[in-house]
Amino acid sequence: LGVATAFLGYVLPWGQMSYWGATVITNLFSAIPLIGESIVTWLWGGFSVAYPTLNRFYSL
């Protein structure tokens, strides 16, 4: 829970470091067999990290 909170706080300023941090961390979920790609697409809110991704992280 603490690591997730730290990650969400890291992403919220939404600069270059936050963007690439969100890209790397969310791509880790793609390593889960069968459902990984679906989880990543859901987290991103589309097919790449963009403003829907920020909205999802902000709401958490």
pLDDT one-digit tens code per residue, 9-56: 899 898 999 999 999 999 999 999 999 999 999 999 999 999 999 888
pLDDT class of 60 with cuts at 50, 70, 90 = confident
Q: How far apart are CA 60 and CA 53, in angstroms?
A: 11
Calculate the CA 37 to chain-centre distance.
Answer: 13
Q: Where are the alpha helices (DSSP H) in the chain?
A: 2-11, 16-28, 36-44, 51-59
What number of other Cβ atoms are within 10 A of residue 24's Cβ? 10
- Res 18: pLDDT: 92
* Residue 29: DSSP 8-state: G
